[in-house]
Chain A
């Protein structure tokens, strides 16, 4: 089976800072993977890379069949990213925002109503400007965009943050539904129990790399030679093989 996400020693930079320092990760189609790790570990950057936003500097990254080195643009219509920022226009209403995002992805606008209903954005809320929403409602709108775009890959960055109890349960339900429909979900979360309950698998990200996670740890492939650090040799990958233990 073709994996939905296939990263090999992927390095991504912000200026001269390595956000990702060589990530190797495989995610199967329809799998739900929980990313955990301390602040600044690179979880958000990993999601941004998979969304085709962050550029890949070295290594390989193939997401939903798109080689990110060659073309990051065509991938974007097929993913839904829930980031720290909501990517919503303050001066448009909730409904208009979702419709715009759906049209931009060339998806079917017919799904917008259902998505809004699902997220509890009903009645007058729909015509309210996003600028005047509460943080939680804004989050729900952003989620509605992800749902309505019918994305094949969901990238959720702290999806539970800023939501009430009902909202959190709703997120869980949405993820389960999506995975049942064959959608691949990557979710970064500090709510370990909640996320672990949702996920098929948990992966730990530290220092811009994946340090565990019951996956085939990639031997350096043809495209990955000579990318490792200032030191010679494949020292780092060797380490990753030996130290396969979990983080407490």
Chain B
């Protein structure tokens, strides 16, 4: 499984390196979202302003929106030549495919989060404190996001209306992630990381639960896609 996961992740990242869809489209999209929030809730910045207060939440909403695109892209590259059988025909272990694809999307999302955090700090005028908790919640939240995303990515890849189906499935599922990650960032930025630990636990539980579920369920889902 791990061997196959590595193979798939390497392949996906190599394709990204070649096609630069995440870099050239998903990251700019997330930045646009950050700008739009600014327009909607600005122009006041600095301590106590709406933008600054809401920065953690806005950051994570932007990440969620970008995550859907990243997952969609991850499954679009498997629609080889219009055929969706490539992955099955490859003979790869389904659990390995799940972990590999999730890891590749996670890698891209983590990079995106770094860029986005910088943009939020800059544009919403919010100092990024509590770096360790920020980073830890990013990792845990991203793991949960890609787990759910990859499960639903393969579910919706069987549908003809996959572009509209995935967001409908994805967003309600990751509501707890949005909540917990936002609160955890809130705590970190407010300089009270102690309050964020509980939220980090929520993120971790979510991630573990759905990574486990995906590893088991991906095979049957892929078989049917």
Contacts and interface: CB of A to CB of B under 8 A. Distances in A.
Do A and B truly interact?
yes
Interface of A: 48, 51-53, 72-73, 76-78, 81, 83-92, 96, 100-101, 103-106, 129
Interface in B109-135: none
Task: Give the interface SS of chain B, mostly helix, strand, loop or mixed.
Answer: helix
A53 B81 contact: no
Contacts of B89: 51, 53, 76, 81, 87
A92 B83 contact: no
Nearest to B96: A104
Given A86-B81, A89-B80, A91-B77, A104 B18 contact: no
Interface of B: 4, 7, 11, 14-15, 18-19, 77, 80-83, 85-86, 88-92, 94, 219, 223
A127 to B, nearest CB: 11
A88 B7 contact: no
B25 to A, nearest CB: 14
Contacts of B83: 83-85, 87
A85 B11 CA distance: 19
Contact of B18 (A51, A72, A129): A129
A87 B86 contact: yes
Nearest to B81: A85
Contacts of A106: 91
A96 B81 CA distance: 17
Interface centre among B4, B15, B85, B89, by most chain A C-beta atoms within 10 angstroms, is B89
B88 A76 contact: yes
29 contacts: A48-B85, A51-B89, A52-B88, A73-B91, A76-B88, A76-B89, A76-B90, A77-B91, A81-B89, A85-B80, A85-B81, A85-B82, A85-B83, A85-B85, A85-B86, A86-B81, A87-B80, A87-B83, A87-B89, A88-B81, A89-B80, A92-B14, A96-B14, A100-B7, A101-B90, A104-B7, A104-B90, A104-B92, A105-B91
A44 B219 CA distance: 24
Interface centre among A48, A86, A103, by most chain B C-beta atoms within 10 angstroms, is A103
A53 B88 contact: yes
A89 B11 contact: yes
4 cross-chain pairs, A with B, having the tightest CB-CB distances, nearest first: A85-B83, A77-B91, A85-B81, A104-B90
A88 B219 CA distance: 21
Nearest to A75: B91
A91 B86 contact: no
Nearest to B222: A73
A88 B19 CA distance: 15
B81 to A, nearest CB: 4
Given A53-B89, A76-B88, A92-B18, A100 B81 contact: no
A155 to B, nearest CB: 10
A104 B14 CA distance: 16
A104 B4 CA distance: 7
